[in-house]
Amino acid sequence: MTESLKTQPGLQGALDSSPPPPVVLSPNESLRTAAFTVRELSVFFDERQVLNRISLDIPARAVTAIIGPSGCGKSTLLRALNRMHDLVPAARIQGEIKLFGQDIYGKDVESVLVRRRVGMVFQKSNPFPTMSIAENVTVGLRLNGVRNRSALNECAMQALEMSALWDEVKDRLDAPALSLSGGQQQRLCIARALAVQPEVLLMDEPASALDPLATAKIEDLILQLKRDYTIVIVTHNMQQAARMSDLTAFMYLGELVEFGPTRDIFTNPKNKRTEDYVTGRFG
């Protein structure tokens, strides 16, 4: 990344903090650095309570999977981590979420600044249809005032390389984003999220609409990205969670039932409900 990009105002936001040290996880190792510290988190939509007093520490530079049956609150928890619920008038949040020690719901913290640090990739790929491939990648930077064309081009190249898409599109960057395949569009959306230099990537079922080959590419990409980013992924695919994640949270009816190293969750769960779910007895 060029120096001009690094110094653009707003890219790191008002919540600047030093990059966390790498976290190397083993199944029985205590986690040294938490990206998110969640305490007593409850989420309501009008009078309906969707999350009930969730507490967990999500480690930096690791993959954390959130699993559970439909309607258990997985996506609600994910969207609370970057204040997406601020866009829903009926939503109400109780409890605390800290990002590297800083309260993201603090009175003086703007939600847009949180979302610059915490990127989001949705279940259905959503490239901007009227923009080219390159324009899709750099749209966030341009909205934040970056105008230097060479800096934008370099950023696009780096983000596309990080999303394992550069070699497939480098000769057609001006082509419409919708000319890409479904799997390529999803990697383009990942590149778009990476371009603004987030610290965290949230992924809500990022491969559920993709074929097995495209899914494998997304999974390989996530495993590469965790060397530099904190990744939290919601998935219904328990095999995917077992393959990719370092830690797994099992949710049921708005509660966090169990959270721990993925190997323990799938081979030696402490809670009977977790065991029943991962062995297919319900869900």
pTM: 0.85
pLDDT higher than threshold 80 for residue 107: yes
Q: Walk me through the domains of the chain, giving residue ranges and CATH numbers.
A: 3-11+34-278 (3.40.50.300)
Region of residue 145 (left: phi > 0; alpha: psi -120 to 50; beta: else): left
* Cα–chain center distance at 49: 23
| Structural tokens at position 11 | 């890219």
Q: Kindly indicate the confidence band of residue 123, based on its pLDDT and cuts at 50, 70 and 90.
A: confident
Report the alpha-carbon distance of residue 230 to residue 227 in Å, rounded: 8
What is the chain's mean pLDDT, rounded?
Answer: 87
25-30 contact pairs (CB < 8 A, 24+):
25/59, 25/62, 25/246, 25/247, 25/261, 26/261, 27/261, 27/262, 27/263, 27/264, 28/261
pLDDT, tens digit, 9 for 90 and up, residues 165-180: 999 999 999 999 999 9
| Structural tokens at position 270 | 């402490």
Backbone angles phi, psi at 93, to 5 degrees: -115, 135
Report the alpha-carbon distance of residue 46 to residue 199 in Å, rounded: 31
pLDDT, tens digit, 9 for 90 and up, residues 233-267: 999 999 999 999 999 999 999 999 999 999 999 99
Report the alpha-carbon distance of residue 227 to residue 6 in Å, rounded: 20
pLDDT at 83: 95
Report the alpha-carbon distance of residue 233 to residue 251 in Å, rounded: 13
Find out whether 27 and 263 touch, Cβ atoms under 8 Å.
yes
